[in-house]
Every structure is written in C-alpha cells, then in structure tokens.
Amino acid sequence: MKYTIALVYERKSEYLTRGFSKDECAELEDNETIDALTSTLHSLGHTVVQVGHIKNLVACLAKGSHEAWDLVFSTSEGIHGLAREAQVPALLEAYEIPFVGPDAASTMLCHDKSKAKLSLEHFAIPTAPWCLVSNDRDSRAFSMPDRVASAKDSSRHAHALKIYPLFAKPVAEGSSKGIYPCSKVECQSELEQTMSLLCTQYPDQAILVESYLAGREFTVGILGTASRARVIGAFEIRIHGPWEKGEAAQRTKEVEFLTSDLKDTWEGVDGIDGVSYEEFMPDMESDSEAQEACERALQAYTALGCRDFGRIDVRLDTKGSSAVPHIIEVRRIGAVCRPNDDCTDAWRLDQSKTRPSS
C-alpha cells in the first residue's frame, strides 16, 4: 500500500544560519539525512511531504493540510525544553495522526536520563549508581560543594557514590553533548570543577553524577515493538590514542569514552591530539559480552515502552569475566534514520568487522 508520509525534522544548516551554536545543533539533521529519508520513501512508492520543524507542523495543522497525510515520520529532536523530543509526538497524538516511533510519554522518559534510570531500576535492569545535582535558580544560591554533597547524600546510592572515579554529564542531552575528557573525575575537587563547567554550559538542566563504568561500550540498534522487537546489530566503541603505543600524552588526558569533540573523528584520523575512535563490529557468535549487552539493551527497550526503532548504549561496569552490562542511554531515534549511522551500518554489514571508510 502506498501512503502520503509527512517528514518532520530540524534541518541543521537552517539553525546554524539562524545563529544557533554547533553544540545546540549537534543532534539536528543534515541535508544528506533528509534527502536519504525522502528518496528512500519515494523509492518505496510513497508520496513524501517535507514539513520541517515543529512550527511548520503547527502551521500545517492549523490550515488542515494534515488531513491529506496517512502517516508522519519524525526525526525531530526539538529545540527548547527538557521534553523537547516529545513535543512532536504529543502534538500528533492530540490530532490523532498516526506516526512512526515511540509515543510522547516514552520519548520524554528516555530523553531524561534520571527518569529513565528510575524506570530501569524498577525493572531491575542494571544502570550505574547515580544522583542528580540541581541546577535551577534556587539551588544556585548554594555553593557547588554543598549542592554536590546534598545530591550524593540524598541518593539511594550514597555509599557507592563515595567511591571514585565518578562521571558527570547533562541529564537531557544526546550525541555526546556535554561529555568532555574532564567528565570522568578522580576526586572531589575534580568533580566540583566539572560540575561548574557543566552547570554553566547547560544552565537549564540538572547534572547527572554516576559511578564510572570502566568496561567495554556497545551501541545496539533495535527494530520492532514489544515481543516483535529484535536487535539488528551492535558496534563496540573503541577509543585510540597515544597511550596505546606507550607514548607520553602531554597535551591530553587519557580518554576511555566518546566525547563531543571526538564525534567527528574516526580511526586512522588524528582527531584531537591524536585521539580518535572506532566503531568495531564484534563477532556475535563468540563474543559473550557483546551478546549480553544486546540482551540487556533489548530488555531496556521493551521496559521503557520504545516502539518501532531505537538505539541503546550499553557499557560494562568493569573489565574481565565478572563484567555486568549497564544501560547508559536510550535513544528513541537515530538507530535507523541516518544513512551513515553506526546501527544502520551494522544492519547492512553484519558480516563485517569494522565500519568501512566513507
């Protein structure tokens, strides 16, 4: 059956032209993605209406243009507010317009890492011990040491959070936004310095502080809903740097995780001070840790009510045979939408061992 499908998205180039920063636009769609989605849907025989961002969607709803649509395909990240990713789904639900992807409630739940963690803990799905440091106007009246201490002491994980290293990141960002080499902290003074940076960089949201997970990291792509959901592929994130060759890294701290600055670098490319990353496809037949990571990702996907497609980031808590996979992020879009996304490649190239160069 052929449909008229409305495509909702934020075009990155448009927002950069309007003066938004590179960081603010990190999750928005480039022209290649929008064109690829449009051409793919066209190739399947569908009619595509490129709507654009949410304000264009509102205008279409006001004029009644939506009455000609059969379905909406949205990659909208939103721009403003902690529930920004849920704004388009909520609007479509209000107008009873069918759409692809999770509903507004699940979208908001996944976007806010603290709420996702609460739900995961309810279902006994491992996630790193954590606390949430407030960053609103009232909390700023207190010193950073007091804010951090209060958050840690009031957490059910207070004992675990006394043990360093810890990891700090914004509570409601994706695409490694707000993840810096200094996000991993080894002591109280480092934690307070990183917290001051993040609270300044992201003044409209709280900061998540959690136990650092020292093991391997996997990105898992999933398609389907409820009992029909299945893993379509997984990549391991591997960080490369001068320390691997025994070289002194004078200009950079050893990095064991993907930062915002590394997002545009690949293996073999001198990213930042010689640090780069690789998306490596493990052998799913023999790699038991990768198998367990995929199983854990699927558990989280269904527990949080994800629908149609998603991407789950999983990290092991340690290295060795006792390692336990923990959920670090649940992304309701991006797994199969972007033509060069890691999970899209995993689906296409499940017999390959490393991502091909583009």
Average pLDDT of every residue of the chain: 88
With a pLDDT cut of 70, the percent of the chain lying above it is 86
Interval 309-331: pLDDT, tens: 999 999 999 988 899 999 999 98
pTM of the predicted structure, to 2 decimals? 0.88
Kind plus residue range of the DSSP H or E element containing 331: strand 325-331
Whole-number pLDDT of residue 241? 75
Give start and end residues of each alpha helix (H) in the chain.
12-17, 31-43, 54-63, 87-94, 104-111, 113-122, 144-154, 188-201, 288-303, 342-348
pLDDT grade, residue 259 (50/70/90)? confident
The stretch 67-80 carries a mean pLDDT of 95
Whole-number pLDDT of residue 351? 37
By the 8 A CB rule, do 228 and 147 touch? no
Whole-number pLDDT of residue 147? 95
344: pLDDT strictly greater than 60 = no
pLDDT grade, residue 350 (50/70/90)? very low
Interval 182-201: pLDDT, tens: 999 999 999 999 999 999 99
Whole-number pLDDT of residue 174? 85
* Bond from prior residue into 126 cis (ω within 30 degrees of 0): no
Please report the DSSP string for 46-105 in residue order.
-EEEEEESHHHHHHHHHHTGGGG-SEEEE----SSSTTGGGHHHHHHHHTT--EES--HH
Instruction: Round to whole Å and give the CA distance between 87 and 71.
Output: 17
Whole-number pLDDT of residue 261? 79
Segments of 161-271 assigned E as strands = 166-170, 184-185, 207-211, 217-223, 230-240
Q: At what angle do helices 113-122 and 288-303 cross, to 10 degrees?
A: 100
